Structure formats: structure tokens, C-alpha cells
Amino acid sequence: MVSITSSRVESLASSGIQSIPKEYVRPEEELTSIGNVFEEEKKEGPQVPTIDIKDIASDDKEVRAKAIETLKKAAMEWGVMHLVNHGIPDELTTRVKNAGATFFELPIEEKEKYANDQASGKIQGYGSRLANNASGQLEWEDYFFHLAYPEDKRDLSVWPQTPSDYVPATSEYAKELRSLATKIMSALSLALGLEEDRLEKEVGGIEELLLQMKINYYPKCPQPELALGVEAHTDVSALTFILHNMVPGLQLFYEGKWVTAKCVPNSIIMHIGDTLTILSNGKYKSILHRGLVNKEKVRISWAVFCEPPKHSIILKPLPELVSESEPAEFPPRTFAQHIEYKLFRKTQELQAAPASKE
Ligand SMILES: [Fe+2]
């Protein structure tokens, strides 16, 4: 029997293996596009936009309109951006990163005390991707996942207790991100000619929008050109906010090519997720992205997914954005149904694909 504890990528990485198990090797057709991330990062060409958002809530109407227009353009063209002047103190993001990194420095046995148990529905805690499809494909990462906001819905007993700053730093960061999410959704609403609080309401408002923290830990990989830290996907969230330890890895599929995001100091990467794509009837883009790994440096990222409640809200294109010339691009679905639909589609694709990598 394979024990869950032996499936940590970190223990595999530190075991001294020179070649990675076949479950981590990507299919042939994908391998051609995977390169050395440090080389990829240096390449010229289209790049994820850096968006200064200090003016998106300005009292000066003209200044605000201009800032909103810039954000709108990035959300429509790329659906991902480096936010600068986001208003969250660097001192706080540094604390969040130090706390998460310190937790991952603990011995694996210590971290296992927080292990999740996906089979029994305990999804919060320390974990690794389990092969859940016919191909048995795995990703080169371990993670820690927990709900971070609203405060009355979180369960502090599953959060890391070591280091002691983890809970206070992460709580404060989640609170800050929650207001940032409101600011962004207000601007994105106004940009589409909607009432300022429209998108916020559509995703559940202050009571129901959930902020889920996922710390992604990507150990050094002996054969990085054969693996992925995270396979290509679009986020299902409304918005995703990401911090990282300045090691490159994120790639975006833009105009038919994989573009490697450069590391921008003190920025927060923000993704538009499928939820806003659906509500905006495709105007805001949820971009396909993936994560590369490397031989030299551990990469850690802190993703906070802002998600609508699973069952209580039906997501569909807002009627104001649907017309005869722009018919609804998405059928009505709850968030849970949307996730299920994506899984179903992926399984179909896998079954349709030619024989396995062997
Ligand atoms: Fe993602």
C-alpha cells in the first residue's frame, strides 16, 4: 500500500534522485514547450502588464476614470497583472512570506501533523496533489491550504501554529486583501458601466465571498524540463492574488505562446478568474497559466483565491452585458457546477487523447 506520507514531493526531492518518477513526467506534446525558467524569464516580447492602482479609488473623477480604464484594458487583454501601489504594506507581505517559509522549513514529520485527508473531505491542511485521473499525472509541489476569510468561517485549529506569527500575519493580510478585492471589483464594475457594487454583490458580498489561502511549495527538481509545478489551467475564482519568493515560475499562455512572468518587487500578481469571466460575459479574461520548476531554487508562492459560495449563487453573464449581438457565452451554473464541468471536460479530453506517455 502506498502511504500518503511518502508522496510528498519534498521528500522525493531531498532523497537524492537524479531522475523523476514517471508520474511527474509530462506528456510528449507538452515537453516541447518546457524550458529553463531562468532563460525563459530573460526573453523579450509581450509581458504581463504592471498596473499602478493607487488612483482607482481617487476622489478626483478624472484621475479615477483614467486609472479604471488602465485596469480594464489589462483585465480584458491579459486577465493577469502585477499590481503596484496596492496599499498593502511591504512589511506585512514580508511577514506573511516569512511565516509561510518558516513553516515549510519544518521537518516533514512536523508538517504531516497538519496533513489534509482529501478522501474524507478534509481539504484544509498540508497536502500534495493525488493522481485523480486516468493518466495518474502528478505535479511537482506540496502545499498548505486553508480558508482565510471571512473570520467567522475560518478554522484556526487547522492553520500552522509554528511560527507564532503565522496566524496574526495571515489574518491581517487576508483582511487587507478583502478590501483590495472590493476596490478592484468596484473598478471592474464601473468599467463595464455597472453600479459600483455590482460584481461584489454577484460573488456573495462581504459575508459570502471566501478567501482561500494556498501556499505552494515547489522543491528543486532534478529534471525541471520534464515536469510542471502546476499544470496549465485557468483559475475558477473571481480574483486570485499571489505573492512569491522572487523565484520565477509562472507562465501565461498569451497569443499562442507561453510567456514567463518576470518578478516585480513589492507587487502582487492578480488573476481574473473564471467567475468574473462568466459574469462579464467573456469581457474579462481568465488566462491559461502554469508553473515551471527548476533545479537551483525552491519556489514558494502564496495564492489567495477569492471565491463565491459553492451552491447558493448561480453564476451567469449579467443581463446588461448580453444582447443580440453579444449573446450569453456561458450557461447558468453554480460555482460547484462550474468546477464539476471543468473536471468533466478534462476527463473527456484525457480519454480522447492518444495512448498514454508509455
Ligand atoms: Fe492558477
Integer Cα distance of 217 and 293 in angstroms? 10
Task: Report, as an integer, the average pLDDT of 41-58.
Answer: 95
Burial of 330-347, coded b for 16+ CB within 10 Å and e otherwise, reads beeebbeebeeeeeeeee
Question: Does the residue 22 lie in any domain?
Answer: yes
* CA 143–ligand 1 middle distance (angstroms): 13
* CA 60–ligand 1 middle distance (angstroms): 35
Please check the confidence at residue 74 and state whether its pLDDT lies above 90.
yes
Give residue-wise pLDDT tens across range 195-251: 999 999 999 999 999 999 999 999 999 999 999 999 999 999 999 999 999 999 999
Please check the confidence at residue 354 and state whether its pLDDT lies above 80.
no
Task: Report, as an integer, the average pLDDT of 320-343.
Answer: 97
Dump strand ranges (E) for 191-237.
210-218, 230-233
* CA 329–ligand 1 middle distance (angstroms): 22
Q: What is the CATH number of the domain that holds 21?
A: 2.60.120.330
> Between the CA atoms of 135, 335, 119 and 348, what dihedral angle is there, to the nearest 10 degrees?
-20
Please check the confidence at residue 357 and state whether its pLDDT lies above 90.
no
The secondary structure of 251-302 as a DSSP string is: EEEETTEEEEPPP-TT-EEEEE-HHHHHHTTTSS----EEE---SS--EEEE
Give the range among 54-63, 239-248, 282-291 with minimum mean pLDDT: 54-63
| Residues above pLDDT 70, as percent of the chain | 95
| Residue 132 CB neighbour total at 10 angstroms | 13
Distance, CA of 215 to chain centre: 10
Ion ligand 1: residues, CB within 5 A, are 235
Question: Does the residue 332 lie in any domain?
Answer: no
Query: Which residues is 250 bridged to in the sheet?
Result: 291
- Whole-prediction pTM value? 0.95
Q: Which three cell numbers stand for residue 163?
A: 511560527
Query: Which residues is 251 bridged to in the sheet?
Result: 260, 290
Give the residue carrying C-alpha cell 525552491.
298
Give residue-wise pLDDT tens across range 117-140: 988 999 999 999 876 655 689 999
Please check the confidence at residue 172 and state whether its pLDDT lies above 80.
yes
* CA 62–ligand 1 middle distance (angstroms): 34
Please check the confidence at residue 5 and state whether its pLDDT lies above 70.
no
Question: Does the residue 107 lie in any domain?
Answer: yes
- Residue type present at position 336: A
* CA 232–ligand 1 middle distance (angstroms): 8
* CA 139–ligand 1 middle distance (angstroms): 13
Question: Does the residue 157 lie in any domain?
Answer: yes
Shortest CA distance to 69 belongs to which of 222, 231, 293, 58? 58
Q: Is 223 exposed, middle or buried (0-12, 13-18, 19+ CB in 10 A)?
A: middle
**What's the confidence (pLDDT) of residue 134?**
59
pLDDT band at 296 (very low <50, low <70, confident <90, very high): very high
* CA 229–ligand 1 middle distance (angstroms): 11
269: left (phi over 0), alpha (psi -120 to 50) or beta: beta
* CA 280–ligand 1 middle distance (angstroms): 19
* CA 233–ligand 1 middle distance (angstroms): 6
Active site residues: 214, 233, 235, 289
* CA 262–ligand 1 middle distance (angstroms): 16
pLDDT band at 268 (very low <50, low <70, confident <90, very high): very high
Question: Does the residue 91 lie in any domain?
Answer: yes
Integer Cα distance of 112 and 126 in angstroms? 7
Question: Does the residue 346 lie in any domain?
Answer: no
Three-state helix/strand/coil letters over 76-128: HHCCEEEEECCCCCHHHHHHHHHHHHHHHHCCHHHHHCCECEHHHCECCEEEE
As a residue count, the chain comes to 358
Please check the confidence at residue 1 and state whether its pLDDT lies above 80.
no
**What's the confidence (pLDDT) of residue 4?**
41
Give residue-wise pLDDT tens across range 177-191: 999 999 999 999 999
Phi and psi (nearest 5°) for 144?
-130, 130
H-run or E-run covering 141:
none
Task: Report, as an integer, the average pLDDT of 32-44.
Answer: 96
Secondary structure of residue 317 in the 3-state scheme: coil
Q: Domain count of the chain?
A: 1
pLDDT band at 2 (very low <50, low <70, confident <90, very high): very low
Task: Report, as an integer, the average pLDDT of 251-276.
Answer: 97
Phi and psi (nearest 5°) for 302?
-115, 105
* CA 257–ligand 1 middle distance (angstroms): 17
**What's the confidence (pLDDT) of residue 321?**
98
**What's the confidence (pLDDT) of residue 118?**
87
**What's the confidence (pLDDT) of residue 96?**
98
**Range(s) of the domain holding residue 249:** 2-308
